[in-house]
Amino acid sequence: MEKQITLVEARNYLIKGCAPQIYREGDEFPIDQEGPVNQRRWKFTDETNHIFRTQRHKGFGRLALVQPALVGDNLILRAAGMPDCTVPCDESGEQITTTIWDADVPVTVHADASKWISDFMKKKLLFVQQAGDRPVNSIYAPEDATVGFADRFPLTAVSKETIEKSKHAALPSTVDGNRYRYNLLFAGCEAQDENRMARFRIGSFVGRAAKPCGRCNTININQETGVEDVELFDILKNHPNFRNPHTGEPIISENMLVENPGVITIGSPVEVLEWSEYGWNRPYTTNHLRQKNIRGIWNTAKSLGIIGLWRKLRGKDG
């Protein structure tokens, strides 16, 4: 009997590192070539060196408590104990260049929002909006593909069944789907089936699998409190049902590319156009760069920071 797979939820992460805007039963969810419309068009950077900052950086877990929402032509920033901050999507401001992983990207600085996030985080930060294209720069995507401030891929998909399976690998009370920061949530399949969906259709949208999603230490952070409260990264990395034997990374969800943009409705059926015989534990190229260069390597090292680089070398981070 054919599986009846359904899209039960979708999430758009408007600001990199912050809480998502959640779409549920009956909501429409537009997807363009770069992923959910307006996803990760904004981010926070260090005020002095203009390096991006997210929950993966030490001391930035509280970004999970920032709840952005698009209301008309404005982006609203909300957090407990703070007044709302309204940022017009077309607001002009100082133009600078910031670093995200291997790339330098032009951005616009929003002064009021920069003060708002600096007050909330008690750190000197800039709030910036993407002002130029950023190449995907991945061997899995077409040469001319672009993306916002996502980590290289426009979409991630996971199933409720995979999330439930991960609970059995750790203490159930410490695991919920929020930690995995997915875009599309499926139900009605077997656990980790999302890693075998080579191509699938939801309405007019068609997605294509790129590679299993190797997780980073962000999954250790409780998205409700912004506090790192469990070593979930290490637990999954050392569990045979989640540790990719070829890369050593813990795998939860699949990185997806957009084959055909469209507007999808939450609650719609997921039609799998092509199943792959290989799943979450398949081999893949971990170096996404088409070509290494000194500038790109230096930018990546700056993005990770000394602590992040040390964790990566020790195998403590994806």
pLDDT of the residue at 206:
98
pLDDT per residue as tens digits for the range 23-35: 999 999 999 999 9
Whether 301 is in a domain gets the answer: no
The pLDDT of residue 302: 67
Look up the pTM and report it.
Answer: 0.91
- Judge whether 210 lies within some domain: yes
In a domain, 52, yes or no: yes
The answer as to whether 305 is a domain residue is: no
Closest-CA residue to 35 (of 159, 130, 124): 130
Asked, for residue 295, whether it belongs to a domain, the answer is no
In the numeric block, which tokens belong to residue 279? 């799943």
| Contact (CB, 8 A) for 50 and 38 | no
DSSP codes, the chain: -----EEEEEEE-SBTTSPPEEE-TT-EEEEETTEETTTT-EEEEETTT-BEE-TTSTT-GGGGG-EEEEETTEEEEE-TTS--EEEETT----EEEEEETTEEEEEEE-HHHHHHHHHHHTS-EEEEEE-S--B---TTS-TT-B-SSSSS-SEEEEEHHHHHHHHHHS-GGG--GGGG--SEEEESS-TTGGGGEEEEEETTEEEEEEEEEE--GGGGEETTTTEE---HHHHHHT-TTTB-TTT--BEEEEEEEEEE-EEEETT-B-EEEEE-S--TT----S---SS--HHHHHHHHHHHHHHHHHHHHTT---
Please, are residues 257 and 139 in contact by the beta-carbon 8 Å criterion?
A: no
Low pLDDT (below 70) residues in the chain? 1-2, 137, 287-318
Specify if 205 maps to a domain.
yes
Please give the residue range of the domain that contains residue 126.
6-283
Q: Residue 256 domain-assigned? A: yes
Q: Which two structure tokens, joined as six digits, stand for 84?
A: 């709302």
- pLDDT computed for residue 299 by the predictor: 65
**Number of compact structural domains in the chain:** 1
Q: Which two tokens stand for residue 155?
A: 């979409």
The whole-number pLDDT of residue 300 equals 67
Domain containing residue 163: CATH number: 2.40.33.20
